[in-house]
């Protein structure tokens, strides 16, 4: 049976799975990325994990290749470059190092680009020519498709929308030292920073006045919103306002048919989605209003990123089936 290895390298977790032609994960697992600060022992762990997964699949496997999604990946050079959310610094020649370990066709791209390919091949973007995938995890990622093709840019680094400055140089710093950068507001980390900011700005009573920044988790903020915590509710509204404004700006760039959202922040459901829809429409130019959809990922939640990474390879085989 033909399968593709899909690897999603995230700031927190590395997810690995074996993906079939429909985008289904036949076996998958994860480990903590930060536990391997040395890239070589990290890749040894990856290879060992693939072997483990292989043994879980009953059928005889023919691997067509390995697709990797990672922040700040250069598809042209096969490298990861200055990724602020990863432990390895500088330029990491990850594809060359993987090829030493596994003699397979291998591709890498920005994690959000991989997600965009996944949605196009297996998810809600089937048949769409123009759409933007936004991944809201530890950081903020974007995969942009126009004219039916991923926009990779001159050098393979397009779609770094988390570092777009929304404030003419006056605002929070992102991990790449961009002042006012979107990711500093709209991401799991951004939401936590907003919780601090709003507690500084307002005097509302809130359970979060007893919780330190390092002990704060996204799920708790959602739970608090459900229970009516004013700071939590304001934090989602504030996040949605900036994301809505940013998405309206992005619409002026490539006029997508839809934005497709995924990642931890989206799990907060209506707390983020309802104000987002409102602020997005409010900020859209007149001739875009009512025309741009906001969709949730059409890939199975837990393995979205894995299927996306595998789509890098599967895209070359769609005509074989």
* Contacts to a second copy by CB under 8 A: 72, 81-82, 129-130, 144, 146-147, 149, 151-161, 163-169, 176, 178, 242, 245, 248-250, 252-257, 283, 285-288, 291-292
Of 2 and 155, CB closest to a second copy: 155
Least distance to a second copy from the beta carbon of 216, Å? 24
State which residue, 52 or 129, has the beta carbon closest to a second copy. 129
Judged by beta carbon, residue 67 or residue 141, the one nearer a second copy is: 141
Closest distance to a second copy from the beta carbon of 314 (Å): 20
Q: Which is nearer to a second copy, 169 or 228 (CB)?
A: 169
CB of residue 190 vs a second copy: minimum separation in angstroms? Answer: 14
Q: At its nearest, how many Å lie between a second copy and the CB of residue 224? A: 25
In whole angstroms, the minimum distance from the beta carbon of 258 to a second copy comes to: 8
Pick from 247, 261, 256: nearest CA to 297? 261
Which residues are CB-contacts of 172 (< 8 A; sequence separation ≥ 6)? 179, 180, 181, 184, 185, 190, 193
Q: Phi and psi dihedrals of 64, rounded to 5? A: -80, -20
Which residue number, 53 or 80, has a Cβ lying nearer to a second copy? 80
What's the Cα-to-Cα distance from 96 to each of 16, 46, 55, 114, 170, rounded to whole Å? 19, 14, 25, 19, 40
> CA separation (Å) from 23 to 63, 315, 319?
14, 11, 15
Q: Which is nearer to a second copy, 21 or 80 (CB)?
A: 80
Smallest gap from Cβ 255 to a second copy, in A, equals 3
Contact criterion met (CB below 8 Å) for 43 and 88: no
Helical (H) or strand (E) element with 145:
strand 140-146
Please choose, from the candidates 21, 28, 23, the residue with its C-alpha nearest in 3D space to the C-alpha of residue 2: 21
Sign of CA dihedral 49, 55, 59, 64: positive
């Amino acid at each position: 049976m033909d399968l593709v290895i899909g690897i999603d390298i995230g700031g927190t977790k590395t997810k690995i799975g074996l993906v079939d032609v429909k985008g289904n994960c036949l076996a998958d697992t994860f480990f903590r990325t930060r536990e391997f600060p040395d890239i070589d022992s990290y890749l040894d762990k990856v290879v060992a994990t693939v072997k483990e997964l292989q043994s879980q699949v009953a059928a005889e496997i023919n691997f067509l290749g390995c697709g990797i999604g990672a922040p700040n990946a250069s598809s042209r050079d096969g490298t990861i470059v200055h990724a602020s959310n990863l432990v390895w610094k500088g330029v990491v020649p990850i594809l060359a190092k993987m090829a030493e370990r596994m003699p397979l066709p291998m591709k890498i791209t920005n994690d959000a680009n991989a997600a965009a390919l996944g949605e196009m091949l297996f998810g809600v973007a089937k048949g769409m020519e123009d759409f933007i995938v936004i991944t809201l995890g530890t950081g903020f990622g974007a995969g942009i498709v126009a004219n039916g093709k991923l926009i990779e840019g001159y050098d393979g680094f397009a779609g770094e929308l988390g570092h777009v400055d929304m404030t003419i140089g006056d605002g929070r710093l992102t991990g790449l030292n961009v002042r006012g950068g979107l990711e500093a507001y709209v991401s799991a980390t951004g939401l936590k920073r907003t919780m601090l900011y709003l507690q500084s700005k307002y005097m509302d009573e809130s359970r979060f006045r007893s919780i330190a920044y390092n002990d704060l988790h996204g799920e708790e903020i959602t739970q608090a919103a459900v229970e009516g915590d004013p700071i939590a509710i304001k934090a989602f509204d504030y996040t949605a306002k900036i994301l809505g404004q940013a998405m309206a700006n992005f619409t002026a760039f490539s006029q997508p048919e839809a934005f497709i959202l995924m990642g931890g922040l989206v799990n907060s459901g209506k707390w983020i989605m309802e104000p987002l829809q409102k602020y997005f429409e409010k900020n859209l130019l007149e001739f875009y209003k009512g025309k741009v959809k906001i969709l949730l990922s059409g890939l199975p939640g837990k393995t979205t990123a894995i299927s996306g990474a595998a789509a890098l390879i599967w895209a070359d085989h769609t005509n074989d089936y």
